[in-house]
Structure 1
C-alpha cells in the first residue's frame, strides 16, 4: 500500500511517502507562517522524489493534533480534500501519538507535550514502548507536568518530548528533548489503524482540539468573559 502522510500540528511540519513498511521520502520543514502557500509544493516535491503521483496513492494519513489550530486545520483539510476528490482512503491519527512514537524502542516512559495557553501545555503520558497513552490528553500547568506524569505512570524516569518541551519545569526525574511529530510515524500509525478500524469518513474527519484557542485582544481591551 502506497500512502502519503503529513503532520502540520507544530512549527515544524512533516510530509512522507511510504510503500508498505518502507519509507520512500520524508521532508521536515518549518513553515514560518506560510503553511498554506508552502505545503502543496512540498507535497508535490515529495511525490516526485518518491517517483509517484497523488493518483497512484492508495491512502492518506494525517495528524489530527492537538497543536496549532490553523496548522492542524490546513493539514486535515488538504488530506480530506485529496481523499474525496481522488476517491482514496483517509486515516486520522493523534499527533501526540506520532510524537511519542519517534522514540519507540527506547524503553522509557514518554510525556508528549504541545503548547496550550500561557504556562500550560497539552500532555499525554505513555508507558515505555506503548503506542497509546494511558489516558486522554489533558491541559495542565507546566509546573505540574512531571509530578502528574510520575504519579500516573509509576515510572522512575521520563522523557519529555515536544517543540515546547523546554517549557516544562526541570526535574532530575526527566530528560527534556525538543522534538516534532514525524510523518513516517503518522503513516505507521495510520497503517495500523486502517487494518483494525478501516478508513475514516472524509466528511466527518475533524481536527483533535483539546483546548480552545488563546484569545488575543488589542492593548487596553478586555477579553470577553
Structure 2
C-alpha cells in the first residue's frame, strides 16, 4: 500500500509509505511552507520511485494550527489528488500530536492562538485515544484551570511534535475503515474566534 501523509499546522511533517518502506521528514527550517512543501513532496516521491497516481490515500492535517500553514498543506494536497480523485484522510492535528506521545496517560495539547488565548484539547491516551475535552479556544486563565482540573501526565504546548509515522498509520487506518473523504470535502479545523466573541464569553464568566 502506498500512503502519503503530511501536517503543516506548525512545522512541516511528512511521511511516505511504499509497501513496507517508510520515509519521514520533519522540516524545521526558515523557508515558508508554500515554498518548501512542494519541493519536499516531489523529492520524496521521486526517491521512493512513486508518482502521485500510485498513491492509495493521502492524509492531511486539518488543524487546529496556524491558518497560513494549514491552508498551504490543504491546498497542496488538493492539487496533488484532484486529478486522480485519490481518497483523503483528514487528520486532527492535536489528536496526531497526542498519539505521537511515547507514553500513555492524560495528554493536554495547547498552542498559542492570539494574545491571551490558546487552542486547547485534552485526551486520554491508551490503546485508543479518547477525548476528554474537544479542541477549542481558551483564555490563558482557563488553560491554567484545565491543567489543574485534568492534572495531565503530558503537556504539549506551542512547539508540538507530530510524528510522520503516526500520520501515515492513521491515514492507512482511515482508508481501511472506509473513513476517507473526497478532496472537495476537506474542511480545516479553524477555531479562532473574534476578539468580540472572546471578550463577551469572558464577561459572562465574570
Q: TM-score, normalised by structure 2?
A: 0.84
After TM superposition, give the deviation of residue 138 of structure 1 in Å.
Answer: 1.3
CA distance in 1 between partners of 2:121 and 2:26 (Å): 23
Kept in 1, the 8 Å contact 2:97–2:161? The answer is yes
Task: Select 2:156's aligned residue among 161, 167, 177.
Answer: 161
Question: 1:15·1:46 contact (CA, 8 Å) conserved in 2?
Answer: no
**Alpha-carbon distance, 1:55 to partner:** 2.3
SS in 2 for 1:179: coil
Which of 118, 121, 130 does residue 118 from structure 2 map onto? Answer: 121
Asked whether the 8 Å contact 2:137–2:193 carries over to 1, the reply is no
2:72 pairs with one of 71, 74, 91? 74
Q: Deviations for 1:88-147, whole angstroms, at most 9, x for unmatched residues?
A: 11111100011111115x122101122211121111101132424223211112343243
Q: Deviation of residue 39 (structure 1)?
A: 0.8
In the superposition, relative to structure 1, how do residues 132 and 187 fare at CA in structure 2: closer, same or farther (>3 Å)?
Answer: farther
Residue 88 of structure 2 corresponds to residue 107 of structure 1: no
Deviations 1:143-184 (A, max 9, x none): 432431442x4xx5421113x1xxxxxxxxxxxxx4322332
Q: Matches of 2:49 and 2:194 in 1, distance apart?
A: 39
Measured in 1, the distance between the counterparts of 2:5 and 2:60 equals 6
Aligned equivalent of 1:220: none
Are the equivalent residues in 1 in contact too, given 2:90–2:186 (CA < 8 A)?
yes
Residue in 2 aligned with 1:43? 41
Report the structure, 1 or 2, having the larger strand content. Answer: 2
Structure 2 alignment gaps of length 5 or more: 196-206
Q: Is the 8 A contact 2:57 2:175 kept in 1?
A: no
Q: TM-score, normalised by structure 1?
A: 0.77
CA contact 2:85–2:182 (8 Å) conserved in 1: no
Matched ranges for 1:24-43 at <5 A: 24-30=22-28, 32=30, 34-43=32-41
Structure 2 partner of 1:195: 176
Which residue of structure 2 lines up, in the alignment, with residue 97 of structure 1? 95
Q: Is the Cα contact below 8 Å between 1:65 and 1:96 reproduced in 2? A: yes
Q: Distance in 2 between matches of 1:49 and 1:109?
A: 38
Q: Give 1:83's match in structure 2, choosing from 81, 84, 91.
A: 81
* Structure 1 or 2: more helix by fraction: 2
Tell me, in whole angstroms, the C-alpha distance in 1 between the residues paired with 2:180 and 2:142: 37
SS at match of 2:184: coil
Deviation of 1:60 after TM superposition, in Å, equals: 0.4
What's 2:203 paired with?
none
